[in-house]
Structure 1
Amino acid sequence: MGQMILGSSTHVFLPQRLHPGLLDALANGGAKTIEVFAARYHFDYADRAQVKEIAGWFRSNPVTASLHQPLTTETTFSRHAAMSLDLIDREKMHRIEAMDEVKRALEAAEQIPFESCVLHLGMKGDKWSEATLEFALTAVDHVKAFASPLGVKLLLENLQNEVATPEHLVDILRIGHFDSVGVCLDTGHAHLSEGGIAGAFEVLKGRVVEVHLHDNNGMRDEHLWPASGSERSVAAAKGSIDWAETYRLLDTLPAATRGVLEIGYEGFETAEAVSRMTGEVLSHRTRLLEEAAAFDEGQG
């Protein structure tokens, strides 16, 4: 069995202010790595007291930390708030605003030992063009120059647009000579794409540092808990990813690749429920891999 480091994103608690009790809930569920979702109403990277409090928790617990870039500058949570920060926006002013906000979030790495930061290139439905390629190269170069001295590795995530398809992410990394930049393979987004998870994996596997684990029905990005077949809980009843096959695939990635549950915040906002579900999903993965190994042995 592979050595994937399993954990969770604080995205599941997005409407709440992040505090040590919520991090405890994820760790108690078995998370060995936690991705902190940067949103001012959740983790306010500009609030010194909160940054210090979160840094203290990571220093006292055997859990590694990563960061997800902010997607909005809103300071109060709203279920209907649209993503407003776009690193490859057509307007230069908006691109600069997005880069500045990402850098503000990265400054928290001076205290919190973030190993990496996930970046989004573009909004849903954005088209691929010479201009978007140019904007992407500039954004990654600019943010990388800021992140590197802080010891933070940038990871580009596959999204539901033409710019951040697996093939175009590889193009961006190759053309920009971004040898130190990795990829965050998002299983939910890949499941919604033409090539599916297996196709995205094949293109990106040499660059994957982190994997976002979540399920959907193949129609829209729902961020459901991973589950399989008859073992699907009510929470994941609509998901259609084959997790036995997906885990087998991911298990071939290098040791220390991070597998992070990035779950929607609706319906599972109590710390206890999240802790319980995290534990169930992580043990379910172990069981599926053990069954696969036993099957392979029987075939041998």
Structure 2
Amino acid sequence: MSADPTTTPPTSITAWHWPTHERWYDEGIRRSLLRMKAAGFTHVNWNCDAGYSYIYGPSEMEFIAEVIETEGLQAWAIHGSNGKNPTTEVGGGHLETRKDFLSSNEWQRQAGVELIRNRIQLAERIGSPCVVMHFDIDPDVMADKDSKDAYFAVLHKSLNELRDDCERTDVRIAVENLTNAPIDQTLEQLGRIFEHHTSDVVGLCYDSGHAELAEKGKFRILEQYSDRLITTHLNDNRSVRDDHLLPGDGNIDWEHLAGLIANSPCPAPFVWETPYLHHGMGYNIGEAAFFLRAHPLIAAFEETVSHIRSSALSEAGSS
């Protein structure tokens, strides 16, 4: 795939700043957004505080909206938080788990729901149409009927409580496919979620890197649930680690994946979760150079999907 230099399709990449980045919460993120825009990107996926239990205040939401708008970008997705991440918002080395929307402890589950509500409020303020969420899945729980039924009862309860928030704000929750369970259990999890919750509230975030790790060279998640696809976390890897590489730097068949995405309702541009540097991942080049390298590769993928969709429409119109 190569991009047409005479056109510039909309493109989206991730702002994935963590406490290890200098001034990651204000001027550091502003500088990165400026470099994204200079490289040609039009949209941004807000991954800052992904997984953290941190609660945004109104002034912080206003600042985030201002900095994205000032740098000429459009928010296209944000990564919500399940309250579980080995790095906290202050950079500690412990695991914060008090806010957990999948907890069997009711107070803890409610706190997790409030954390997601906070991210929905942020999404509404910055104009993001969705909040991507990790729905952790335990293979042992899924293997035991009673435990599995209890797990889904809590999951459905939390999503039911968030329905009004999603409908009021027009922000949907996107369930991201993960890697900590066998692929058949992931497919079952997604199927039960989509069966119980309508597409105006809940959809799929397809993480191509996670899918490659779970089932090398296969695309069963999209083959079964492409009709629920509302956003993506596209990235490449070598089928061993979650490297979050640019397309072509790993093993994923991007031509085939483009066809699957083209046949879904997911709107362009597609979100690329490819960080410049993040906890050992990324590229050993400067940030501005990374975005300049990334943009033509991502633009080429956008053009491929657009061409497939246009060809399908032409064929439908002539039949």
Task: Give TM-score, length-normalised by structure 2.
Answer: 0.73
1:10 corresponding residue in structure 2: 15
Q: Do residues 173 (structure 1) and 194 (structure 2) align?
A: yes
Q: Do residues 139 (structure 1) and 154 (structure 2) align?
A: no
2:219 is aligned with what amino acid?
A
2:61 corresponding residue in structure 1: 51
How many angstroms apart in 1 are the aligned matches of 2:79 and 2:56?
15
Computed over aligned residues only, the root mean square deviation of the Cα atoms, in angstroms, reads 3.6
Q: Do residues 185 (structure 1) and 206 (structure 2) align?
A: yes
How many angstroms apart in 1 are the aligned matches of 2:149 and 2:135?
14
Equivalenced residues, count: 280
User: Would the aligned equivalents of 1:41 and 1:75 in 2 still touch at CA under 8 Å?
Assistant: no
**1:55/1:116 CA distance change after superposition, 3 Å:** same
How many angstroms apart in 2 are the aligned matches of 1:90 and 1:41?
19
User: Would the aligned equivalents of 2:101 and 2:110 in 1 still touch at CA under 8 Å?
Assistant: yes
Q: Do residues 200 (structure 1) and 221 (structure 2) align?
A: yes
2:117 corresponding residue in structure 1: 103
Bigger mean CA deviation after superposition, 39-48 or 263-272: 39-48
1:219 is displaced (CA, Å) by: 2.6
1:118-144 Cα distance to aligned partner (Å, 9 max, x none): 111115657321111112111212223
Equivalent residue of 1:118, what SS?
strand
1:242-294 Cα distance to aligned partner (Å, 9 max, x none): 2232223323333624411112423448531332232142145368779999x
1:117 is displaced (CA, Å) by: 0.7
2:31 is aligned with what amino acid?
G
1:22 is displaced (CA, Å) by: 1.7
How many angstroms apart in 2 are the aligned matches of 1:123 and 1:158?
10
1:32 corresponding residue in structure 2: 42
How many angstroms apart in 2 are the aligned matches of 1:290 and 1:258?
10
User: Would the aligned equivalents of 1:192 and 1:221 in 2 still touch at CA under 8 Å?
Assistant: yes
1:54-105 Cα distance to aligned partner (Å, 9 max, x none): 2123444352432111244722235x55573542134333322222222223
1:263 is aligned with what amino acid?
T
How many angstroms apart in 1 are the aligned matches of 2:96 and 2:11?
27
1:160 is displaced (CA, Å) by: 1.9
How many angstroms apart in 2 are the aligned matches of 1:154 and 1:281?
28
**1:257/1:124 CA distance change after superposition, 3 Å:** farther
Equivalent residue of 1:111, what SS?
helix
2:288 corresponding residue in structure 1: 272
Report % sequence identity.
20
1:256 corresponding residue in structure 2: 267
Equivalent residue of 2:11, what SS?
strand
1:111 is aligned with what amino acid?
R
Q: Do residues 70 (structure 1) and 78 (structure 2) align?
A: no
Bigger mean CA deviation after superposition, 29-38 or 127-136: 29-38
Task: Give TM-score, length-normalised by structure 1.
Answer: 0.77
How many angstroms apart in 2 are the aligned matches of 1:281 and 1:43?
34
**1:283/1:48 CA distance change after superposition, 3 Å:** same
Query: Residues 216-231 of structure 1 correspond to what in structure 2 (within 5 A)?
Result: 216-227=237-248
- In structure 1, the gaps of 5 or more residues are 233-238, 294-300
How many angstroms apart in 2 are the aligned matches of 1:223 and 1:114?
22
User: Would the aligned equivalents of 1:86 and 1:123 in 2 still touch at CA under 8 Å?
Assistant: no
User: Would the aligned equivalents of 1:86 and 1:121 in 2 still touch at CA under 8 Å?
Assistant: no
User: Would the aligned equivalents of 2:199 and 2:228 in 1 still touch at CA under 8 Å?
Assistant: no
